[in-house]
Structure 1
Amino acid sequence: MTENHTLAVPAVVGVLGGGRMGAGIAHAFLLAGARVTVVERDEQAGHAARERIERDLARSAERGAENGDLSEWVANLAVSLDHADLAPCELVVEAVPEVWDLKVSALQEVERHLGPTAWLATNTSSLSVDGLAEQLRRPERFCGLHFFNPVPASQLVEVVISRHTGEELTRRSVDWVEALGKTPVVVNDAPGFASSRLGVAIALEAIRMVEEGVASPEDIDNAMVLGYRFPVGPLALTDLVGLDVRLGIAEYLESKLGPRFAPPQLMRDMVDRGELGRKTGQGFFRYDQ
């Protein structure tokens, strides 16, 4: 990326974690012309990540996506089990599960392999970017890039600025997001940022309404979709994100912001039963796997 901030992504990008979010992030950068290395924990996870990304790339090709073709995108994708393969990257986006100790150890391991001019970002949806930055040697080169699920269809990325993030990285992050064809929203670090905090608050209240017998999940979601023009209802969205993921976010927000974010017992019970949403075939709604 040049100093006049033309809209271009870094030429070489790393993604740590090739799950649903990591694969989507890799997909977005590949479509924008970057060479992307995805690092996974073992061969099985690496194989699954490659399959997931190549499937999404094929769908993009079928839809006639611009800026390249399927063979070019696939050629620009590497999947590795070695953090050292991230060394040439200009930007690495961490996308491991929302567990504090795991995030810290993953980011520290990545930073150890990066050059002094590389940029590092976390895809955390709620954890403190300030706190993560303070665990790193170069916190001024670190920020949050909160992508949304599903990444290929989502138009939004939250650029989360810690009190350590340098102005240059803030400018570049906005440009990178726009170069991906998405819209950046810049927020200062705070529990849940803007999107997760508001989204989880609405979802928790919807779950309480189901718990109290106010209305069925279908009618609650229809009220928000038809009455408030939500693209998807809060309960269907919770199924998409995963009840376990949203439970973890709610518990974190409760610890930081108080009891208004306390998870309803119904949510805990569903997680205990393995009713996690789309990924298990059952949440507030049933899904064909």
Structure 2
Amino acid sequence: MSFDRVLVVGAGQMGAGIAQVVAASGRDVLLHDTLPGATARGLEAIATSLGKLHQKGGPDPGPVLDRITAVESIGEADLMIEAIVENAEAKKELLRAADDALPAHAILASNTSSIPITQLAAATSRPAQVVGMHFFNPVPVLALVEVIRAEQTSDETVEAIVALARDLGKTPAEANDFPGFVSNRILMPFINEAAYALMEGVAEPEAIDTVARLGFAHPMGPLALADLIGLDTCVAIMEVLHEGLGDPKYAPCPLLRRHVAAGRLGRKSGRGFYEYG
């Protein structure tokens, strides 16, 4: 399947990045978001990202932007990639709407970072054509795409999405359908433990992140990474892990919960473990 037209639902940081890389591959992209002004902000972010890449030898932003169209409703496409809020019921509602609106051959992909794909597939009449396609932030820069097979996902669907990921210049890694998949099953407990170390006074945020960067050769420390991901998203993923795997070690650190309750969500709110201008 060539996926000549791709619908991206969710024009935030992840959705805008996905729309950018899909359009840069030569495909037409429909960008949809129900939040007022979200698609305009998404297109602005894409233009900024393309401009920076162009300065480093990347493609001319004009033709890429011309292939992205903001739409007010779900339009006809060969593939939908959803990148909305990390909430199972919201994603199921969207998948049901896309199931009704898109042609029978279309594949429905979720960029969820933790919610079991089997649950999402069961909400549709085409479960064999539902798959996880988990990109990593920032999407135009990071090469990994986790491809998650639900219990119902067909071999043909997985093969098509793996081929698409490669055509987008990404490296696909296939995973079976467990809460958190591979990436967040490993990453979120790491971030959670860093939050515990801060809460218990083991070290200040800068020291914790410096140990990870220089001691573990990580490009970014766990607390700075949590700020980039969004502390609310980290808590949501930890709750999926905790509920789905039933192990108390996955319960979100109380400090994470307090920061979220206080509106300290990370970069997107201007303050998380660090403050941002």
C-alpha distance in structure 2 between counterparts of 1:214 and 1:71, whole Å: 50
C-alpha distance in structure 2 between counterparts of 1:233 and 1:71, whole Å: 35
Residues 1:36 and 2:25 aligned together: no
Q: Tell me the amino acid that sits aligned with residue 271 of structure 1.
A: V
Give 1:278's match in structure 2, choosing from 263, 267, 271.
Answer: 267
For residue 6 of structure 1, what is the aligned residue in structure 2?
none
Give 2:202's match in structure 1, choosing from 207, 214, 234.
Answer: 214
Give 1:63's match in structure 2, choosing from 49, 56, 59.
Answer: 56
Residues 1:50 and 2:38 aligned together: no
C-alpha distance in structure 1 between counterparts of 2:170 and 2:45, whole Å: 21
Give 1:82's match in structure 2, choosing from 55, 73, 82.
Answer: 73
Q: Tell me the amino acid that sits aligned with residue 35 of structure 1.
A: D
What is the CA distance between 1:55 and its match in structure 2?
2.2
C-alpha distance in structure 2 between counterparts of 1:95 and 1:193, whole Å: 17
C-alpha distance in structure 2 between counterparts of 1:164 and 1:119, whole Å: 13
Residues 117-136 of structure 1: pairs in structure 2 closer than 5 A: 117-136=105-124
Residues 1-289 of structure 1: pairs in structure 2 closer than 5 A: 1=1, 10-66=3-59, 69-83=60-74, 85=75, 87=76, 89-257=77-245, 258-288=247-277
What is the CA distance between 1:29 and its match in structure 2?
0.4
C-alpha distance in structure 1 between counterparts of 2:196 and 2:139, whole Å: 28
C-alpha distance in structure 2 between counterparts of 1:140 and 1:256, whole Å: 22
What is the CA distance between 1:221 and its match in structure 2?
1.2
C-alpha distance in structure 1 between counterparts of 2:42 and 2:218, whole Å: 31
Structure 2 gaps, min length 5 = none
When structure 1 is superposed on structure 2, of 259-268 and 56-65 the one drifting more is: 56-65
C-alpha distance in structure 2 between counterparts of 1:265 and 1:104, whole Å: 29
CA offset digits 1:167-198 (Å, max 9, x no partner): 11111111111111111110000000000111
Q: Tell me the amino acid that sits aligned with residue 38 of structure 1.
A: L
What is the CA distance between 1:120 and its match in structure 2?
1.1
C-alpha distance in structure 2 between counterparts of 1:29 and 1:164, whole Å: 26
What is the CA distance between 1:70 and its match in structure 2?
2.0
CA offset digits 1:49-108 (Å, max 9, x no partner): 222222222223232224xx322112111001111x2x1x11110111011111001111
Give percent identity, aligned residues only: 38
Paired residues in the alignment total 276
CA contact (8 A) 1:90 1:119 kept: yes
C-alpha distance in structure 1 between counterparts of 2:61 and 2:142, whole Å: 21
C-alpha distance in structure 2 between counterparts of 1:226 and 1:43, whole Å: 42
C-alpha distance in structure 1 between counterparts of 2:171 and 2:33, whole Å: 28
Q: Tell me the amino acid that sits aligned with residue 263 of structure 1.
A: P
CA contact (8 A) 1:18 1:40 kept: yes
Q: Tell me the amino acid that sits aligned with residue 164 of structure 1.
A: Q
When structure 1 is superposed on structure 2, of 9-18 and 151-160 the one drifting more is: 9-18
Q: 1:198/1:29 Cα in 2 relative to 1: closer, same or farther (>3 Å)?
A: same
Moved over 4 A (4+): none
What is the CA distance between 1:14 and its match in structure 2?
0.8
For residue 5 of structure 1, what is the aligned residue in structure 2?
none
